[in-house]
């Protein structure tokens, strides 16, 4: 940590800061420059909050030298983390295709789509039983009944399930049925929920908040990992930008190499919710492989015009087959393995 003092400060103000640093068990290295006095804080400053020092008189700025996360940081865990879910591997040299309906709407619909995506080459079945909707008047999901339907589809097709938990109550149910627990973008900083999934032994897919910085996203993962759960998939699903006329979000593919430099965790892309546009799903899926992501999460619906949720971005099983074929070409060109469905 670097603590920077105003041009006009008193020795007393510097001394107060120095004492606080020492009291925390760190060293305070005072450096006097031409225009600015600074204190370099040495030692393990992970328990010191930079914000605290901004409140000291005489201090103009405080800069963290280290990133605020440890468990998720590559600084303390050099090798890429590999996460296995049944036969499916998230990690270096592999690429995973997760697909299914945005929302579970009926047993028939779910089974039909599950069979279709499996046939086309999906490895994991996605589907929402509990849906966070921005309007209270929209379809909120089938709930527990939806989870049971997903389970049946999983048993039949052999694909593990990923589905979202919204709160304590739904988490309890989701834990029973799901193979991967999804935490949605609006809950990325729902710290109560993060603490709860941190205590579980199933993989968690943590979506990036719509306007979360990379550090905030990794701190959210740190919450989960601090609870003991180390199986975390980081999922980029589109961030807010100043342009909302033609797209819902900007899918931040440039975050992939950045996050991979900072953390050892696998990164997943959701091109469906990320773009909100059916015609963008294919190019963004191919780009996800090329940029180094570990997986994609794709909405598929065989009757998008009757979908109860996010039909605008859902692609048909036929288009999905094309996308899988494109993904395989790019993956193969870059020596990545895609687990064939059994």
- Compute the distance between CA of residue 111 and CA of residue 106 in angstroms, rounded to an integer: 9
Within 41-80, which residues bind its own copies (CB under 8 A)?
41-44, 46-47, 49, 51-52, 54-57, 63, 65-66, 68, 75
Number of residues that bind its own copies (CB under 8 A): 113
Residue linked to tokens 């546009």: 277
**Residue 18 DSSP symbol:** H
Q: Which long-range contacts (CB under 8 A, 24 or more apart) does 198-201 make?
A: 198/223, 198/224, 198/225, 198/226, 198/227, 198/228, 198/229, 199/227, 199/228, 199/229, 200/175, 200/229, 201/229
- Strand 37-42 and strand 2-5: pairing? antiparallel
Query: In this chain, which stretch among 81-89, 144-152, 174-182, 242-250 interacts with its own copies, using CB under 8 A?
Result: 242-250
Q: Give the one residue of 22, 93, 133, 199 binding its own copies; rule: CB under 8 A.
A: 133
How far is Cα of residue 18 from the mean position of the Cα atoms in its chain? 38
Pick the closer one to its own copies by CB: 54 or 342. Answer: 54
Within 304-333, which residues bind its own copies (CB under 8 A)?
304-305, 307, 310-314, 326, 329-330, 332-333
3-state secondary structure of 78: coil
Q: Which two tokens stand for residue 130?
A: 């509990």
Burial of 165: CB neighbours in 10 Å, binned 0-12, 13-18, 19+: buried
Within 86-105, which residues bind its own copies (CB under 8 A)?
none
Pick the closer one to its own copies by CB: 191 or 342. Answer: 191
Residue 134 near its own copies by CB under 8 A? yes
Q: Least separation, in Å, of the C-beta of 216 and its own copies?
A: 6
Residue 179 near its own copies by CB under 8 A? no
Q: Least separation, in Å, of the C-beta of 94 and its own copies?
A: 17
Residue linked to tokens 């990992």: 225
Q: Give the one residue of 33, 108, 201, 340 binding its own copies; rule: CB under 8 A.
A: 33
- Compute the distance between CA of residue 99 and CA of residue 149 in angstroms, rounded to an integer: 16
Residue 201 near its own copies by CB under 8 A? no
Pick the closer one to its own copies by CB: 156 or 279. Answer: 279
Name the residue among 71, 54, 73 with its Cα closest to residue 2: 54
Residue 82 near its own copies by CB under 8 A? no
Q: Give the one residue of 24, 151, 202, 291 binding its own copies; rule: CB under 8 A.
A: 291
Angle CA(294)–CA(81)–CA(328) in degrees, nearest 5?
Answer: 20
Residue 115 near its own copies by CB under 8 A? no
Q: Give the one residue of 16, 86, 112, 202 binding its own copies; rule: CB under 8 A.
A: 16
Query: In this chain, which stretch among 91-99, 109-117, 143-151, 269-277 interacts with its own copies, using CB under 8 A?
Result: 269-277
Q: Least separation, in Å, of the C-beta of 9 and its own copies?
A: 13
Q: Which two tokens stand for residue 17?
A: 């800061």
């Amino acid at each position: 940590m670097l603590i920077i003092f105003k041009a006009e400060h008193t020795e007393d103000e510097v001394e107060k800061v120095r004492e606080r640093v020492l009291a925390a068990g760190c060293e305070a290295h005072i450096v006097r420059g031409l225009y600015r006095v600074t204190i370099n804080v040495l030692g393990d400053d992970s328990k010191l909050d930079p914000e605290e020092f901004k409140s000291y008189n005489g201090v103009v700025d405080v800069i963290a030298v280290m990133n605020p996360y440890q468990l998720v940081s590559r600084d303390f865990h050099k090798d890429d983390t590999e996460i296995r879910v049944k036969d499916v591997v998230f990690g270096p040299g592999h690429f995973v295709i997760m697909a299914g309906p945005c929302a579970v709407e009926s047993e028939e619909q779910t089974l039909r789509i599950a069979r279709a995506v499996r046939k086309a080459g999906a490895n994991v079945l996605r589907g929402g039983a509990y849906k966070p909707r921005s309007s209270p008047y929209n379809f909120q999901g089938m709930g527990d009944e939806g989870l049971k339907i997903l389970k049946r589809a999983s048993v039949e097709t052999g694909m593990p399930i990923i589905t979202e938990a919204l709160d304590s109550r739904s988490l309890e149910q989701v834990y029973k049925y799901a193979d991967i627990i999804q935490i949605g973008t609006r809950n990325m900083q729902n710290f109560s929920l993060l603490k709860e999934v941190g205590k579980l032994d199933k993989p968690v897919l943590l979506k990036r908040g719509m306007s979360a910085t990379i550090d905030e996203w990794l701190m959210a993962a740190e919450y989960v990992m601090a609870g003991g759960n180390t199986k975390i998939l980081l999922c980029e699903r589109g961030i807010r930008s100043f342009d909302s006329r033609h797209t819902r979000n900007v899918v931040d593919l440039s975050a992939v190499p950045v996050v991979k430099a900072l953390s050892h965790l696998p990164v997943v892309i959701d091109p469906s919710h990320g773009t909100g546009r059916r015609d963008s799903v294919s190019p963004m899926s191919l780009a996800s492989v090329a940029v180094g992501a570990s997986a994609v999460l794709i909405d598929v619906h065989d009757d998008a015009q009757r979908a109860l949720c996010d039909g605008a971005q859902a692609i048909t099983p036929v288009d999905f087959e094309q996308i899988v074929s494109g993904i395989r070409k790019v993956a193969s060109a870059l020596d990545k393995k895609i687990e064939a469905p059994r």
